[in-house]
Amino acid sequence: MVLGDFNAGEQSAPLKALAEAGFRDTFRDTNPDATEVKTGHGFRGGRRGAMIDHVLVDRRLETAEAWIDWTEVEGQYPSDHRFVGAVIRRR
């Protein structure tokens, strides 16, 4: 498993290299067609844009759930990035 704030979109060279090494994004495992995936928002919100925070797993793990946390309270955000999470298990 590899996870973190990559500051790199899904089609970037670093993510492509990780995919070639056998890693896949857990969010895409469970949400393959999602278009609202913007995770870095600079405290301005919004959902359209690049997913730059990732939870990646290899073939030994399977994704049960994965999400982007859209929490905001009265226009306030806990971070300048959306939190991403996943429930994974061994195959």
Q: From CA 30, how far away is CA 40, in angstroms rounded?
A: 20
Range of the domain at 32: 2-90
pLDDT band at 1 (very low <50, low <70, confident <90, very high): very high
Task: Give the model confidence (pLDDT) of 19-54 as tens digits.
Answer: 999 999 999 999 999 999 999 999 999 999 999 999
What's the sign of the alpha-carbon dihedral 80, 3, 38, 7?
A: positive
Count of domains observed in the chain: 1
pLDDT score at 12: 97
pTM for the model: 0.93
Neighbours of 44 (CB within 10 A): 9
The pLDDT tens digits of the residues spanning 46-70 come to 999 999 999 999 999 999 999 999 9
CB burial of residue 30 (10 Å; 0-12, 13-18, 19+): middle
